[in-house]
Amino acid sequence: MYAMRDPARNFDDIGPLRHQLWQVGARVLSLSEGALADTPLSPASSSVLNAISAKPGISIAEMARWLPTTAQAISQIVARLERLGFVERRLGARGHGVALFLTPDGDRTREDANRRIGHLEARLAEALGHEDHASLLELLGRARMVVEHFEATAKPASRATASKHRT
C-alpha cells in the first residue's frame, strides 16, 4: 500500500475533490501513454477503437455522447486511425451518415493496447490493494453518474461551458 503525501499547498480553494481527480487522472494518463509508447496509439485513440469495437457502425456524433470529448476531437482521432489503416468509414444505416468500423489491423492493435493498459491497471490494483481498488471503482462510477445527472440538468449556458472543458 502507498501512503498519501501531504500536498505542499492547500488546494481547498480550488476544491479538494477536483484537485485529487485531476492529479490522479493526469498521472494515470501519463502512465497509460507510457504503456502505449511503442504503439501508434494514444489513450484517447485506444478509447475510440474500443468504442467502435463495442458498437460497430457507430457514428462520430454518437461516440461523442459516450466518450468525454467533443465530436471534433473524435473526428481528428478517427481521421488519424483511418490513415493508419485501423478504421474505415462506410455509409451508415439506411444509406444515411457515416458509420465507423474496425479493420482487422485495427482490432489487433486495439487488443494489444487493451493488454498493455490491463497490465498497468493490474499494477495499480495491486498497489492499492484489491479491496480499495474495487471500492474506488465503485465510488468513481457513482460519482460519474452524479456528474452526468448534473450535466443533463444544467442550464444551457452551463452545458456549453462544460463541453468546452472536456478533454
Closest CA to 97 of 62, 68, 69: 62
pLDDT tens, residue order, the chain (167 aa): 555 555 555 555 667 888 899 999 999 999 999 999 999 999 999 999 999 999 999 999 999 988 888 999 999 999 999 999 999 999 877 777 889 999 999 999 999 999 999 999 999 999 999 999 999 999 999 998 999 899 889 876 654 555 555 54
Q: Which domains does the chain have, with CATH numbers?
A: 39-156 (1.10.10.10)
CA distances 157 to 33, 58, 160, 161, Å, are 33, 28, 5, 6
